[in-house]
Amino acid sequence: MITIRKSQERGYADHGWLKSYHSFSFAGYHDPEHMGFGNLRVINEDRIAPGMGFGTHSHSDMEIVSYVLSGNLAHKDSMGNVKGIPPGDVQRMSAGTGVQHSEFNHAKDLETHFLQIWIEPNTRGIAPSYEQKTFAKTDKQGKLKLVASSTGAEGSVAINANADLYAGLFDKGETANLTLAVNHKSYVHLVRGELKVNGVVLRTGDAAKLVNEQAVHITDAVDAEVLVFVLS
């Protein structure tokens, strides 16, 4: 079964310095029909104005993944990490027993556009940790590249959750097929462009929930960037 979540159906918040689309209930946006999907709790598409950002705040017991689309995200946390996150990098922060962090766009004239993803952890109360890796466009072009997983397989960042995250870039003639194990579901989020998932058209910002499907089939792409979550 495939259920489509259109881009314009997402929640939206305009804070001036921050413009955010919420795929699931978050902060002031509450929709009991969209509280998450499996252990996938948050996908926020955020745009941070130049010179602005999220001040220091706390998290605990959540796996947080940042996927930057344009600009650069400056990260600082209570574990001592001070990092810049450019497009192509995937950042993972396991909040565990508690961590404080800030995320800023220090550019004077360039917006930072990124996806903020929260996944509920397997185990609560672990020590906080941080990981960041770069994935070249060539690793993702015409294929689904594993960028986050419970085991850190294939060079992915390791998350404390039963979830795999794939990223792919697809254009005309490029296809992919990802087999789903029994009792696994998938959430497909189209970052940009157009493609078909199992024969169903998605356009920029759309998503597809796949339940009781044997595989994820990516076809008919036009300048597309896509994230595919596999959840148990």
pLDDT tens column, 4-52: 999 999 999 999 999 999 999 999 999 999 999 999 999 999 999 999 9
Region 202-219: what's the mean pLDDT? Answer: 98
Q: Tell me yes or no: is domain 137-231 CATH 2.60.120.10.
A: yes
Distance of alpha carbon 167 from alpha carbon 117, whole angstroms: 13
Region 149-165: what's the mean pLDDT? Answer: 97
Q: Where are the domains of the chain?
A: 10-134, 137-231
Distance of alpha carbon 53 from alpha carbon 76, whole angstroms: 12
Region 69-96: what's the mean pLDDT? Answer: 94
Residue 181 has pLDDT above 90, yes or no: yes
Residue 137 has pLDDT above 90, yes or no: yes
Other Cβ atoms within 10 Å of 140 Cβ, number:
19
Q: What is the CATH number of domain 10-134?
A: 2.60.120.10
Region 143-171: what's the mean pLDDT? Answer: 97
Question: What pTM was estimated for this model as a whole?
Answer: 0.97
Residue 232 has pLDDT above 90, yes or no: no
Region 208-219: what's the mean pLDDT? Answer: 98
10-134 and 137-231 share one fold: yes
Partner residues linked to 200 by β-bridges: 197
CB 140 within 8 A of CB 167: yes
Assign 81 a pLDDT band (cuts: 50, 70, 90): confident
